[in-house]
Amino acid sequence: MIQQTKATTKSRQAILDRLLGTEVIGPGLPTVDPNQLIHFEDPVAKFIEVLATVGGQAHVVDDLRQIGEILAKLPVYSQAKRVVSLVPEAVPSSFDLAAIDDPHALASLDWTIAKGEFPVAENGAIWVQGETMPHRVLLFIAQYLAIVVSRSQMVHNLHEAYARIGTPKSPFGVFVSGPSKTADIEQSLVLGAHGCRELQVFLTP
């Protein structure tokens, strides 16, 4: 265990005193009315459509074996040397992840095949739970990313998504929507900023 820097409490009281010293009456917290929220007739179609607009590609598969077949058709996959699969029932890993202790050793990773918990129709995002990954950097350091997620778990909007997560139990969880991107140079969209260059999403039954 590395030495833990202790928190200072000098200003804590001063700040809290200032905040608690001035009483402000608030309106209370609202309760969201579910009837006012967007729902889609075909949430799977909506998800696929939105994911495409943010640069990701979705594939509806009925059998896990199809995932390997679809990936094999992509040159960036067939030429890949280092693949980590967190969904071994669908795609095998190319090396033993358990042998890796330091996440820095994953720097040359070509692909990560991750497992998603559920997709969100309104914004093309997929919730990925931290504990599904031995190293959370797997999601960000690979040149390419694929996420396997069940389409039967689809939620319509983020309110449903957060209700589904409930109280977060893992130190890390992330919504991923499309590949890493930037438009910091003259508003020109470039895919593959720091994270994955492409995102393939496999919607299983």
Partner 1 sequence: MKTLPIVDHPTKAHAFVADNERTHWHDQALWFVRSKRDKQAGSVPEWEYLRSLASQIKTETIAKLGDYLSEFERNATALGATVHWAADAAEHNEIVLKILRDHETLRIVKSKSMLTEECGLNHFLEDNGIEVVDTDLGERIVQLRKETPSHIVLPAIHIRKEEVGETFHEHLGTDEGASDPQYLTEAARGHLRDKFLAGEVGITGVNFAIAETGGFVICTNEGNADLGVSLPRVHIACMGIEKIIPRFEDLAVFIRLLARSATGQPITTYTSHFHGPRDPQSELHIVLVDNGRSQLRNRSEFRDALHCIRCGACMNTCPVYRRSGGHSYSATVPGPIGSVLSPTRDSSSYKSLPYACSLCGSCTDVCPVKIPLHHQLLAWRKELVDQNLLPYSKRISMKGASILFRNPRLFTFAGWVGRKSLKWLPHGMTHNRWNTWTIARELPEPPRESFRHWYAANRKR
| Choice between 28 and 62, CB closer to partner 1 | 28
| Choice between 10 and 73, CB closer to partner 1 | 10
d(CA 154, CA 47): 9
Beta carbon of residue 62, minimum distance to partner 1 (angstroms, whole number): 27
Residues ≥6 apart with Cβ < 8 Å to 66: 59, 202
Beta carbon of residue 66, minimum distance to partner 1 (angstroms, whole number): 26
Beta carbon of residue 124, minimum distance to partner 1 (angstroms, whole number): 7
Beta carbon of residue 139, minimum distance to partner 1 (angstroms, whole number): 7
Q: Among all chains, which residue has been given the structure tokens 């209370």?
A: 28
Pairing of the two strands 198-204 and 181-182? unpaired
Count of CB atoms within 10 A of residue 162's CB? 12
The answer to whether the beta carbons of residues 60 and 47 sit under 8 Å apart is no
| Choice between 60 and 191, CB closer to partner 1 | 191
d(CA 46, CA 27): 36
| Choice between 91 and 176, CB closer to partner 1 | 176
